[in-house]
Structures are given as C-alpha cells and as structure tokens.
Chain A
Amino acid sequence: MKTSLTQRQARSSFADLPRLMRLMTGDEKHSPSAHSTLDVLQVLYERILRVDPSNPHDPNRDRFLLSKGHGPMAYYAVLAARGFISESDLASFAEHESILGNHPDRVLVPGVEISSGSLGHGMPIAVGVALGLRAAGREIPRVFCLVGDGELDEGSNHEAIAIAGRLGVGSLTVIVVDNGSSTHGWPGGIASRFTTEGWAAETVDGHDHDAFERAVRVRHTATPGVVVAEVTP
C-alpha cells in the first residue's frame, strides 16, 4: 500500500533505523553486508546529501549511487527514514508485489539513482554521471558512490578509478565501506589504489559519524575524492 509523503515523514526517523531494519526479513545471508553500510548511509542521508523526497528528480540534487547493491536493507531503512519510501514498503520486502527486492531497482524505488546488484557497475556509471553534470554546466550537485572493499575486486572499478583520476572529476566522491571482505586484500591499503591515480583519499572509522561526516563533506575541485570507511566486519 502506498502512503503519502506526510505519512512517511511522520512515521519514520533516523532514530528508528534499528526498528526499520527489522521490518525486512528474508535476506539474512546479507545481513552483515547491510549492517556494515548502515552508519555511512545514515550520515549521508541525515547530514550530507541534498535530496528532497518531494522532488526526487531535482536537477540540482546530489546524486547517490549505491554500487554495493547486496544487502540493501540498510539503504531501504535510510530511504524510509528520509521519507522516500514507507514502512509498509519495508514490510513487503522481496514479496511479489513489493517495490523492494534483494537488489535495488531505480525504476521501482523513489530516490534510488541506479539499479545495482551485480558488483562493479556503480563507480563507472558515477563517473559518467559526473561527466554529464560537467557537460551540462551543473556545478552544484555532488556525485557520491558507495562501494564495498570486496566489490573493488571487480576490474571494472579500476577502469573507473583510472579514468576519473585522469579526467579530474572533482564532483565525484567514492565511499569504500571496508569490512575486510576482499578475498586477497589490498596490499598498501585501499586508499593507495586511488591516490596512485590522482585521487584525494582519507581513511576513517566508519562507525564514527562525526569523523565520517568531516571526511565526506570535503569537496575537491580538480580531483575526485575517496573516503575509506573502515567498519567492523
């Protein structure tokens, strides 16, 4: 059942996130993945992103692309807390008529910028979105993309890291949620993979909301930025 925006906002808030998360059942295998992104998603939607549920296609909105589409329960909960979707949407998670599947679908879910699930797609698309904003002369919006450290194993990400660095895509900020799930790890640290290509990088405690906010609020002008958010697996 659809609910009005007023109902959605009245019903949910960021303080409700643990309860909102519990409304969704059936994808327990990705529960660790979902919980690993919860803190950074909360900070992004509560403190950083200029998005408006009443005008989700505002051309001057910030773009947030969730590349790590596995375990989207935290994402859905935050979207509900921000007023994009309702609690009844959450309760219908992965049911036949639901708009919420185990991977987000931008065509179905208000506020979702990309459909994701297969790993390694979000960051290259985010580079294109940022280049599109540049070509359109839109200087206000920022483009944020959340990837997982395991997802960085996908080669397509490294195409994106290289080209974003070369083209100086300053509106792009990538958040790597590092829960130590990369099979072979990243010798020298994840940040070095980005700085080698000319990115500005910072590594923070992904559970420290203030530290993450300070890092992700920085907008670089001539280079893309990456914030590596280390979280408890």
Chain B
Amino acid sequence: MRHRFGETATALLDERPDVVVVLADIGTARLAETGAAERHSTRLINVGIREQAMVAVAAGFALEGFRPIVHSYAPFLVERPFEQLKLDLGHQGVGAVLVSIGATFDASTEGRTHQSTGDVAMVSSLPGWRVHVPGHPDEVEPLLRAAVEGTGSEYIRLSAASNRKPMARRPGEVIPVRHGSTGAPVVLAVGPMLDVVLAATAARDVTVAYVATVHPLDRRAVRALASSATEIVVVEPYLAGTSAAGIAAALWDKPHRLLCVGAPAAELRRYGTREQLEADAGLDAAGIAAQLAGFLDLVQAA
C-alpha cells in the first residue's frame, strides 16, 4: 500500500498543479525515487521532523487554494499534531488529505511510540472528516484519487496487512461478501480484516460484509445489511468500539446486540511480528472466532 501511495501521489503531483505533498522526513525517499521531488520542488515540501509544522504548512497551502496531501506514521500524523488537525484545518474551514502508514501493530518491533490504535477514533471526533481503511493495495489509488478530488478533510489509513483480493472501488461502499440465512448475525469486516474474518467465520451461518470507508458509515447500507439480523459484529483493526457510534446511529430504532472486536486500549509492551501482536489482541482468526462464539453463546443464553 505504501508503494502504491507513492506512485499515486506522484501521479497526482504530475497531473494537478493544485496538489501539494507535505512530509516530515517519512516518505521522502519514495517520492525522490519517483522523481516527484525533483519535478515539483515547490509543491513537495519536506519540513523535517516537525510534525506540527507539517500539518500547519499544509493548512497554509490549503488557505491559498491548494489541495494538500500529508503523510507520515499514524502516531506522528494524527496523535502528535492533533490540535493542528482541529484548528489549522478544521477551524480554518480548509481541508487536507492525510495518509498514514504504521497501522496499529504494523511497527511491531518498535513498541508503543510507533503505534496508534486510537487514530481513527481521534479523527472521527473531528467534524466533517471521512476515514478510509483500504484492505488491499489496489484500493489505495481509487480512494486517494477520490479524496483529493474533493475539498474536505480525509484520512486514509494504510496497512501492511492486505486481503487477497481488492474490494472497494470507490469511497463509502458497504459490500456484502457472504450471505447467511435470514436473521443470521452480520459481521462487518473493516479493511484488511476481511480475509481473517472470512477464515474465522467459515463454519458459521453469518452474513459477512466489507467496508473501507468507516467514517461516516453508510447508514442506509448498514440498515439494509442488518434488516433481518439482531446480532451485529464489527471487526476493526484499531481501537475496539471505534465504529460503535456509527452502527448505533444507523440502527437507532432497531433492537440489536453489538460486539466490537478490535485492538484493546492497553499499554503494549511486547514486540515480535505483527501477526504475533494481532494474536495477542485477539485479532487473528482464532481470536475472532473465540470472541464471536462467546458473544453468540451469551446471546443464546439470554
């Protein structure tokens, strides 16, 4: 996904004189390789390791009518300059496209400093933002191009993990992947969680759907998906419960039970591979299957 971002950002710089890319060291090597840095020296700005300035400079460009793309690791793009997202973009009434790498446990050996589980929840707390979590490298270009086409603020969260096949062709889609029987629980898989959700639910009668644009959720699509279901499960590759408000808003008048499977709010002090950390968090197929079974057992008992 990171490679595809570099290619697409370069193409957008080549195609559109109003596009600027603002970086804080991270990502510069890739955009130097593509030749973008040399061809667009006034529109590809590396501010050095200054993440507050990175967002503020992008906001200044936006005030002058440019469409900024801002890129870094999730903790340094969202958490560190969060007030700049709130005030330099939102409160000024201008937008930008933020593209992060380092999703959740991607920087598995780096520890807590290089990991963000709360980024999507934080961005979702700001008015007017859209959040996209592509699940395959082929989804990056259409989502990025659509985001740049607009004028609002968009957050695209890239991951090291990928599904085998691309699904999202445009922002906002909720795509049914496997149909269960009438009334069967609905499992909504976010971005790169789709394949692992399909594996975890292979032996269950459930409806599985895929979503890459997680904020705002397409309420009409969620309602249609859950029209006959009472049990809803969201499997999200970040802080568990981030999407709960969106589901609740979509199903406000429909009695339902919701299970949110995601990363825990915890001080992580372990290393190893991404897969190992995901397993620790219950985000591998076995963990998801166990949580789903526990939920459905409780429902049955109730």
Q: Which residues of A contact B (CB under 8 A)?
A: 105-107, 113-115, 118, 121, 124-136, 155-156, 159-160, 162-163, 166-167
Contact = CB atoms under 8 A, between A and B. Distances in A.
A128 B56 contact: yes
B27 interface: no
Interface of B: 20, 22, 42-43, 45, 47-48, 50, 52-53, 56-66, 83-84, 87-88, 91-93
A115 B87 contact: yes
A125 B52 contact: no
Nearest to B42: A135
Contacts of A106: 92-93
Closest 3 pairs between A and B when the two form their complex, measured CB to CB = A128-B60, A132-B64, A124-B56
A132 B56 contact: no
A125 B48 contact: no
A159 B52 CA distance: 8
Contacts of B48: 162-163, 166
Given A132-B63, A133-B64, A135-B43, A127 B93 contact: no
Contact of B47 (A107, A115, A159): A159
A130 B64 CA distance: 9
Contacts of B83: 118, 121
A33 to B, nearest CB: 19
A136 B18 CA distance: 9
Given A127-B57, A156-B56, A115 B92 contact: yes
Given A125-B56, A128-B64, A135-B43, 14 more contacts: A118-B87, A124-B57, A124-B60, A125-B63, A128-B22, A128-B56, A129-B60, A132-B20, A132-B60, A132-B61, A132-B65, A135-B20, A162-B48, A167-B45
B45 A156 contact: no
* Chain A at the B interface: SS class: helix
A133 B43 CA distance: 11
Contacts of B63: 113-114, 125, 128-129, 132
B162 to A, nearest CB: 34
B50 A163 contact: yes
B84 A121 contact: yes
Contact of B53 (A118, A124, A133): A124
Given A124-B56, A163-B47, A129 B84 contact: no
A77 to B, nearest CB: 23
B91 A125 contact: no
A155 B93 CA distance: 24
A166 B47 CA distance: 9
B53 A160 contact: yes
Contacts of A131: 42, 45, 57, 60-61
A121 B56 contact: yes
B13 to A, nearest CB: 11
A107 B93 contact: yes
A83 B92 CA distance: 22
Given A127-B60, A133-B64, A163-B48, A121 B53 contact: no
Contacts of A115: 87, 91-92
Contacts of B20: 132, 135
Q: Which of B47, B60, B61 has the most CB of A within 10 A?
A: B60
A137 to B, nearest CB: 9
Contacts of A113: 63
Nearest to B41: A135
23 contacts: A115-B92, A121-B56, A121-B84, A121-B88, A125-B56, A127-B53, A128-B56, A128-B58, A129-B63, A131-B60, A132-B20, A132-B63, A133-B64, A134-B42, A135-B42, A135-B43, A135-B61, A135-B64, A135-B66, A136-B66, A155-B52, A156-B84, A167-B45
